[in-house]
Amino acid sequence: MQKKYKKGYTTGVFDLFHIGHLNILRRAKEQCDYLIVGVSTDELVRNYKNKTPIIAFEERKAIVEAIKYVDEVVVQDNMDKLEAWERLGFDALFHGDDWKNSDMYNSLEAGLKARGVDLVFLPHTDGISSTEIVERTGK
């Protein structure tokens, strides 16, 4: 039986919202009573992915707010998950398992663990991504 958390947190760009996004949100909510979702600003995405989202931030935020699995949406304007924990006080951070064992997340996991927070990796939905959708359109 999986652990049930009081407050969970996950983040994403959620550009061209697709089934993979929905799966992550559903799986996260199944494991917590209250799910907070950080939606990345356009500026943050430009800075760390070197591209501009197709759907503007306010529209992406409104889409995520409308999802029944989401209890609260916050602005993600930096990548510092420990700073987010200071503000939001979650006891689990959910992320797609495509980042598992990366240097960035191994380091983050240690910092979260020291604060009593679990890093929970959820299955990535194979065969779908916003990048793949854009490539499929030929643009």
Catalytic residues: 49, 51
Nearest to 93 by CA among 83, 62, 53: 83
Q: What is the rounded distance in angstroms from the CA atom of residue 11 to the CA atom of residue 128?
A: 17
Name 11's bridge partners. Answer: 38
139 is written with which tokens? 């643009």
Q: What is the rounded distance in angstroms from the CA atom of residue 99 to the CA atom of residue 110?
A: 15
Please, what is the Cα angle at 71 between 68 and 76, to 5 degrees? 115
Note whether 44 and 78 are within 8 A (CB): yes
Note whether 64 and 37 are within 8 A (CB): yes
